[in-house]
Structure 1
Amino acid sequence: MTHSYSFEQFCDKYNNEEVCTQALFSARWPDGFRCPHCDTSYFYIIRSRRLPLFECANCHTQTSLISGTIMEGTRTPLRLWFQALYLHAAPHGISATRLASIIGTTYKTAWLICHKIRHAMSTSDSSTLLTGIVKVNWGVYGKPYNPTVYRHPQEQPLLAGVSVGSDGHMNYLKIKQVPDEHLVYDRIVPSGGHQFVQQHVDPSRENLSVVILKFSIHRHRDIIRLCKQAACWINDTFNGIGPKHLQSYLDQFCFDFIQKHRNNDRFEVLLTWCAITPTLKYPTLIRRKNDASQHKRSYLEQLKNAS
């Protein structure tokens, strides 16, 4: 479901911290507050800080509204977080540069907000497996920069899997980067397909087809098209992404695909996941594994040996 109101109308609706506080409270505790320490539902509200604290009437544990959410520790007003969520829930997403100009933050703050929101999107997918009729196919982000079998560092092999419903339509999508240990030059080895199935496919699926070869006669062209759409969206919206953070952008593309299929209110779904997903801290974000440098050295060595 696309937004039923414009961005201006959204800003009018969530125009102060009190309204945003109430919405975040409902998203985090849809059945009412529960103390994280003793599970009691009775509480007092302490309003001496910018955001309220909820003190358990039984054990007196104090819980912040944003603790345990992606917003934990933030100094950015909730009003601006909500605007960022709305813009990320839009079909085409938004870049950090564009977000910073709209909500009036620094680029670094906007960049971190974007990644924390994508972290919630990735979390929403992590516990769901592909079920029913499952198709898995090779894909790629980034075009090859040479005509040889050697893979350029900016060419990222992917495996994409879909669940196909009884109506023949794809209703769930996962697109994952393939780790270097499951690659030989630009080819995915069988262990890569096995790992994808083990991690992302329900053992009780009805039917499974896995294609890891680029030009197999059995390849699923509809899945290949989805990978191309994801690549075009990343390039058009974000001007291209390196391998270090690519997976989070692929997860955002899949999140949008799934919510569109389910005809959900994307903002409401995203707010709920942001309210129950622990934050992604900046040091953790910048320490994400990046095999690009090692792969570049390997690539140059391959070309040197071939010449």
Structure 2
Amino acid sequence: MDQAEFRTFCLSGSNEQACIQLFQRARWPDGFRCPRCGGSDACAIRTRRLPLYECRSCGVQTSLTAGTILEGSRTPVRLWLLAMSLHAAPNGISAVRLSSIIGTTYKTAWLICHKIRHAMSQGDQKELLTGLVRINFAQYGRPYNPTVFRHPQEQPLLIGATMNAQGDFTYIKIKQAVEECSFPHLTCPLNKHPFLEKHVSPNAVEVIAVTLKYSKDRNIRLIQLCQKASNWINYTFNGIGPKHLQAYMDQFCFQYNQAAQEHSPFDTLLKLSSSAPAMTYPELIRKPNIQPELRVQYSTLLREAC
């Protein structure tokens, strides 16, 4: 069914059980597996809103949503699936618009959005750039300084991509990069560089990285991709601060990578959401804000330039 039909399906309370079964198949495609012992034999306790399974081997009870991004949520599963479908769409959705569609408070919708992005980020962590790899400096925020120095409101990024023999980017990553972009150039060995350590396979055939802001060797296509991501964030969400910027960049990359690999974004997201660990509201709001580090760095650079 298309997105409009799926939206109507999920908004109907009579389809909650069908949505529960869909999420259950995504979590256990080969049948129930006990998270402790791996056993497949369990009895189901169905007197609750969501099924609870008790392993016959070790006696551990496991909820359908335990250990997933839905853990602890009182929002119906059908509304979670609708939110996943809307996030898997090319343009995504803001928390304000989502709250009006699924009928929750803004806070609940905001938390659902970030939990779904958390699932996308967890999936991205398992993938490494490999083969022919291209990496380039980029930034989020308009250029306040037309120099090599960086203004505190300019958010430094590194964009990396796996490139095929035809020159097409088949997988991309965009990461906030305060540490990497503090270097005037790629000063440390490739195998010691933070971005490469985290996001590039040690078996990559060729790695070309440019961290200079105005290098003559910069990859224009990568920079344009970052600009497209920035425009999407500004248009859909009216701009994002540094604290949660990475989550939105991961969502943009998820959408790009699913299209490049011709996968079903919703099916992939449903699978990721059923396996990614839960993230709570306190964990989200306690995320560190890297902006103060940028202010210190900018002040230091100005003093060194004088």
The alpha-carbon distance between structure 1 residues 303 and 204, as it changes in their structure 2 partners (threshold 3 A), is closer
Q: Is the 8 A contact 2:157 2:178 kept in 1?
A: no
Q: Is the 8 A contact 2:156 2:181 kept in 1?
A: no
Q: Is the 8 A contact 1:157 1:188 kept in 2?
A: no
Instruction: Determine the structure 2 residue equivalent to 1:77.
Output: 76
Q: CA deviation at 1:145?
A: 2.2
The alpha-carbon distance between structure 1 residues 138 and 149, as it changes in their structure 2 partners (threshold 3 A), is closer
Instruction: Determine the structure 2 residue equivalent to 1:99.
Output: 98
CA distance in 2, matches of 1:118, 1:93: 11
Instruction: Determine the structure 2 residue equivalent to 1:11.
Output: 8
Secondary structure in structure 2 of the residue aligned to 1:218: coil
Instruction: Determine the structure 2 residue equivalent to 1:116.
Output: 115
Q: CA deviation at 1:298?
A: 5.7
- Segments of structure 1 that go 5 or more residues without pairing to the other structure are none
CA distance in 2, matches of 1:148, 1:212: 14
CA distance in 2, matches of 1:42, 1:10: 35
Instruction: Determine the structure 2 residue equivalent to 1:126.
Output: 125
Structure 1, residues 94-133: CA drift from partner, whole Å, max 9, x if none?
Answer: 1111111111110100000000000000001101111111
Aligned CA-pair RMSD: 2.2
- Percent of aligned pairs with the same amino acid: 52
Instruction: Determine the structure 1 residue equivalent to 2:249.
Output: 250
CA distance in 2, matches of 1:245, 1:188: 27
CA distance in 2, matches of 1:79, 1:188: 49
Normalization by structure 2: what TM-score? 0.91
The aligned amino acid for 1:287 is R
Aligned length: 302
Q: CA deviation at 1:191?
A: 4.6
CA distance in 2, matches of 1:54, 1:131: 40
Normalization by structure 1: what TM-score? 0.91
- Segments of structure 2 that go 5 or more residues without pairing to the other structure are none
Q: CA deviation at 1:213?
A: 1.2
CA distance in 2, matches of 1:190, 1:305: 18
Moved more, 287-296 or 162-171: 287-296
Structure 1, residues 44-93: CA drift from partner, whole Å, max 9, x if none?
Answer: 11011111101112222110000000010001111111110010000000
CA distance in 2, matches of 1:165, 1:99: 37
CA distance in 2, matches of 1:108, 1:223: 35
The aligned amino acid for 1:11 is T
Alignment of 1:142-221 (within 5 A): 142-147=141-146, 149-180=148-179, 182-183=181-182, 190-191=187-188, 194-221=193-220
Q: Is the 8 A contact 2:118 2:279 kept in 1?
A: yes
Q: CA deviation at 1:139?
A: 0.7
The aligned amino acid for 1:7 is A
Secondary structure in structure 2 of the residue aligned to 1:11: helix
Asked whether 1:62 is paired with 2:61, we answer: yes
